Structure 1
Amino acid sequence: MSPTPAPAKRPPGGPVLQKDVTRALETAFFEELAAVGYGKLSIEAVARRAGTGKAAVYRRWPSKQAMTAELASQAALAYVRAPDTGNLHDDIAQFVRDTMAALSHPLASRIVPDLLAETARNEELASALLAGIRTPRRENAAGMLRLAVGRGELPADTDLELGLDFLVSPTYWRLAVIRTPISDDYVERLTAKIIAALKA
């Protein structure tokens, strides 16, 4: 009969964070943020929605702002990644579709406008979100355009900074501001216009 294995030792450095609790808190955070907005969001409400105590939140994030910056950044970077299909047209068309899907998500459609409004009042949150979302996403998309330059699909002197604005702004305006649905035909027309602008 084999001896009973010794119980697993807890790693040094504090309590082990259970993944299922973390996932529950992440889900609760986005649901609560969509329901009440950043201004009324509270650690207590997130914990209550997740079925945990406040201590579970504070073991993972030191503040509401830190939780928002980390989770919003993770979600934004996961939803829209610059594709690499091998040609510029398909890359941009997929990027537009991914952006459209992200902005059309029921929670995102309420969260994104609220956070943008909040950043106008909260410089610390604005800085955190710019560092966690805008900078890495724009660098990611810039890589897509650089590949097109390398393939000879775009001129070597392409204005990447302006091109990055073209990639996202029309879709955001359409879905988040004037809230008008986008069809596949619109995606194709927009893709053609973006490419034409990049080559101009």
Structure 2
Amino acid sequence: MERNRSDEKTRRKPSGAAVPRADLTEALYRAFFEEWAERGFSALSLERVAARAGAGKAAIYRRFPSRLAFADAAISTLGLQIALPQAEHKTLAEDILALLLRARAVLRHPLARRILPDLHAEAARSAEMRAINDRLALARREQAEALLNRAVCRGQLPEQVDRDLALDLMVAPLYWRMVVRGVTPSRAELAMQSRAIEAGLKASTRDRARQ
């Protein structure tokens, strides 16, 4: 009896190098962050990461040549998620509130709360980790700068606004409260904070113009 060629093709395994699967890559990222949160980057084991993801260590090295490269890819992916475009609102305070709500969603995650302080500590010791940390910060600052540009176009902030100061003010108080103090603010508290940031930016711009 002649074998069905379509069945044979279905059963045949692909030859050549294995193709990295997106779902496995995502599982490896999750396992990497879980391992990092539990043990810190300095004690992070790629063998344990692979085991958490239900994969072999070879699955990691097909994607990343080193632990640092793995961290770079995982953090860059997180940075892109944080920097997703936000809807435009009518006022600067509303735009700031939307940014703070998104930052709160990231910072309230238990893994983020444990990893971020360790990331900053590693960045203080390692130039390579400093570069990775800077790219993550840049993703956040680019999103916040788009918010400032909209406010300038609407006439809610002058063109000469101190952008470095403004970008620091946007999320730094929230980071301090959530990551350093371990307190999660309510939406009402974030709305108050957004109005305070708006007022501070306008006041600092007036002071700068008088200098």
With the length of structure 1 as denominator, give the TM-score of the two structures: 0.89
Bigger Rg over Cα: 2
Shift of 1:73: 2.2
Kindly report structure 1 stretches of 4+ aligned residues shifted beyond 4 Å.
5-12
1:80 Cα deviation after fit: 4.9
Unaligned runs of 5+ in 2: 204-211
Equivalent in the alignment of 1:30 = 33
Counterpart CA distance in 1 for 2:73 and 2:131 is 12
Mapped to 2, the partners of 1:190 and 1:82 lie a distance apart of: 21
- Out of 127, 133, 145, the residue aligned to residue 142 of structure 1 is 145
Could you state the TM-score of these two structures normalised by the residue count of structure 2? 0.85
Work out the percentage of aligned pairs sharing the same amino acid: 40
Separation of aligned partners in 2, 1:160 and 1:24: 38
Q: C-alpha separation between the residues in 2 aligned to 1:49 and 1:95? A: 33
Correspondence for 1:113: 117
Q: How many residues align?
A: 197
Q: Is residue 79–residue 139 contact of structure 2 (8 Å, CA) maintained in 1?
A: no
Secondary structure, aligned partner of 2:33 = helix
Larger fraction in helix = 2
RMSD: 2.2
**Where does structure 1 lack aligned partners over 5 or more consecutive residues?**
none
Distance 2:50 2:73 in 1: 17
Are the counterparts in 1 of residues 75 and 132 from structure 2 also a CA contact under 8 Å?
A: no
Alignment match, 1:65 = 68
Inter-partner Cα distance in structure 2 for 1:139 and 1:174? 22
> What SS does the aligned partner of 1:91 have?
helix
Please give the residue correspondences for 1:1-200 in structure 2 after superposition, counting only pairs within 5 Å: 4=6, 14-81=17-84, 83-87=86-90, 88-131=92-135, 133-200=136-203
What secondary structure does 2:125 align onto? Answer: coil
Partner amino acid, structure 1, of 2:100? V
Q: Deviations over 1:158-185 (max 9, x none)?
A: 1111100000110001011112231222
Further displaced range: 72-81 or 106-115: 72-81
8 Å Cα contact 2:120-2:133 kept in structure 1: no
Give the C-alpha shift of residue 98 in structure 1. Answer: 1.0
